[in-house]
Amino acid sequence: MIDTRTLTQLGAHVEPPQSPEAAVLETVPFARGNGPPAIVRFVCPEFTSLCPVTGQPDFAHIVIDYAPDTLLVESKSLKLFMTSFRNHGAFHEECTVMIGRRIVAATKPLWLRIGGYWYPRGGIPIDVFWQTAAPPEGAWLPDTGVAPYRGRG
């Protein structure tokens, strides 16, 4: 059984962080074992942030795949982190890459990739992709499941 006593958010009432910088990504131990690495996927189909110029909301479908080494990101802390972008003004590219880099800093995975599939504003959808390196050998990497933009729905 994993010792969760060090977690400050899981099982507690926690107010959403006011910014991504204020958000705390917590981790739990992971025993990787032998064989090909596991791939963990988080999908956030209703991600929102703010346009840094107009302050209007931007919407995205975020897909995060990572191969954990010794740490997993705790999912409640990830949800709170993702929610913190609702008050954050940044361009699509910055938001997407910031999410990936924060998870990498917290978990030090073998590999991570993130896809940010942004809904159009001004008629142009923007898709942003970032990964740490080549995927680990032997890992099963499923398709992200997000179709090219055609009214995404």
Q: Is 73 annotated as a binding residue?
A: yes
Choose, from 51, 69, 127, 143, the residue flagged as catalytic: 51
pLDDT digits (tens, 9 = 90+) for 118-134: 999 888 889 999 999 99
Q: Is 143 a catalytic residue?
A: no
Q: Is 58 a catalytic residue?
A: yes
Q: Determine the pLDDT at residue 54.
A: 92
150 pLDDT higher than 70: no
Q: Determine the pLDDT at residue 15.
A: 86
Average pLDDT over residues 89-102: 97
Q: Is 93 annotated as a binding residue?
A: yes
83 pLDDT higher than 80: yes
104 pLDDT higher than 90: yes
Non-local CB neighbours of 91 within 8 Å, separated by 6+ positions: 52
Q: Is 75 annotated as a binding residue?
A: yes
The string of DSSP codes covering 15-80 is PPPSSTTT----EEE----SSSPP-EEEEEEEEEEE-TTT--EEEEEEEEEEE-SSEEE-HHHHHH
Q: CATH fold of 25-131, please?
A: GTP Cyclohydrolase I, domain 2 (3.30.1130)
Q: How far apart are CA 144 and CA 106, in angstroms?
A: 23
pLDDT digits (tens, 9 = 90+) for 21-75: 999 999 999 998 999 999 999 999 999 999 999 999 999 999 999 999 999 999 9
The pair of structure tokens assigned to 54 is: 């107009």
Prediction pTM value? 0.91
